[in-house]
Amino acid sequence: MDIFLTVLNIALFLGLIAILYRMQQKQVSFSKRVFAALGLGLIFGLILNQVYGITSEVTSESINWFNIVGSGYVKLLQMIVMPLIFVSIVVAFTKLKLTKNIGKISVLVIGILLGTTAISSAIGIGVALGFGLDGIELDQGAAETARNELLKPRAAAVQEMTLPQQIVEFLPSNPFQDLTGARPTSTIAVLIFAAIIGLAYLGVNRRDPEQGAFFAKIIDTLYAITMRVVTLILRLTPYGILAIITKVAATSDYDAIAKLGKFVIASYVALILMFIVHLLLLMLAKLNPSQYVKKAFPTLTFAFTSRTSAGTLPLNIKTQTKDLGVSEGIANFAASFGLSIGQNGCAGIYPAMLAVMVAPAAGVDPTSFSFILTLILVVAISSFGVAGVGGGATFAALIVLSVMNLPVAIVGLLISVEPLIDMGRTALNVSGSMTAGVLTSKATGELDTAVYAQKELAEA
């Protein structure tokens, strides 16, 4: 009977894919297809959750088959991330798109990422205090105990690594290894390696224009091919979102989420407030925030459902360049740096909220000015080194709590709602990097305002 029900679920899933394919054939816009995939997947997943339950064999086996589409799509995106970063940065040098303002661009991108992270941490502190969140109220079950046991060696590793050591981890010692994504800091290492290659090209081109032209032609060809691969993969986005959101809705433990509902609600209040800050920054730059929301929506939707900033990178860059008018070089800088630096959700809001929650247990007054100021500074600085120790919200929290001499056990007590909150955090991280790209492009005079103002999204 279980086999029959699993086959039935697979057939229904294929039917939903057929609906999305039909919409594509009728040339329905990309954003509408993404929204339709999100809605269909959410409804289908909730039905599976309620009919079979999250622990049933039918649900588990059905999701395994759906993962061919969902996880397969994410893997294809991850496949192209490193080649995309490397080729895009080098081609920016060969086409002289970055060389005049590269110093200013780097300072602006990193400055905006770190600045918005400081703001997000302040928002996280304010929301945690406003909701009266208290870490003592959290229960530790078997799953939480197991999670904390796993975190102990990682927490020790975080505590042993100094900030300078974390920064050194960004530098590429073996670029070929980093091109495989072997290290948590591989994306930044590849970006630095590509920038070094670009600078070397400029020197060669000055001394031997013939060799420089030959190299530039090779890079241009590689760039054209890489972008074509990106385009082919991005066309699968609605199908990937359908599979991913179905899995999330079907396997979420809503009872556990309800028990921690106060923390979940507070987290999303903070995330939404920080997203509003992104829109306010765009308004200050005299850019229409509604245009940004409309054009960023498909990318943020994928980031929300997939919970992977790295996998969202191709969509991130495509949205910045094709829809928001950001120059290719700046888009690649902002999107790539945003994977490891200044993550507004994972490295900003989350660690700040946890620090406020556990401070009373450590005998610290979370409302004191000195504590709040110190926490904001620690969050902003440590966000620069999160990727150096493995990346993600968990390690960001471990770093901040360790530096502040606060208990780290709370990190393992939120395992039941971690996926749900991580969805919003990832979307905010991606929005932060896109906002940094748009603002930097506007500040350097490289933003194509005509493209930004266009009402229609560019097709993948």
pLDDT tens digits for 383-437? 775 553 344 677 778 778 878 888 777 666 676 677 788 889 999 999 999 999 9
User: pLDDT tens digits for 307-361?
Assistant: 888 788 888 998 999 999 998 888 888 888 888 787 898 889 988 998 998 888 7
Question: Would you say residue 458 has pLDDT above 80?
Answer: no
- Choose between 94 and 185: higher pLDDT: 94
Instruction: Note the pLDDT of residue 389.
Output: 39
Separation of alpha carbons 299 and 429, rounded Å: 12
Banded model confidence at residue 166, pLDDT cuts 50, 70, 90: low
Separation of alpha carbons 452 and 446, rounded Å: 12
Write the DSSP string, 298-363.
HHHHHHHHH--TTTTHHHHHHIIIIIS---HHHHHHHHHHTTTS--IIIIIIHHHHHHHHHTGGGT
Of 132-141, 216-225, 252-261, 435-444, the least confident: 132-141
Banded model confidence at residue 255, pLDDT cuts 50, 70, 90: confident
Start-to-end C-alpha separation, the chain: 41
For residues 349 and 121, the answer to whether their CB atoms sit within 8 Å is yes
Per-residue burial over 76-111, b = 16 or more CB atoms within 10 Å of its CB, e = otherwise: bbeebbbbbbbbbbbbbbbeebbbebbeebbebbbe
User: pLDDT tens digits for 22-37?
Assistant: 999 998 888 788 889 9
Question: What residues contact 411, with CB distance under 8 A and at least 6 apart?
Answer: 148, 151, 155, 354, 394, 397, 398, 401
- Its pTM stands at 0.81
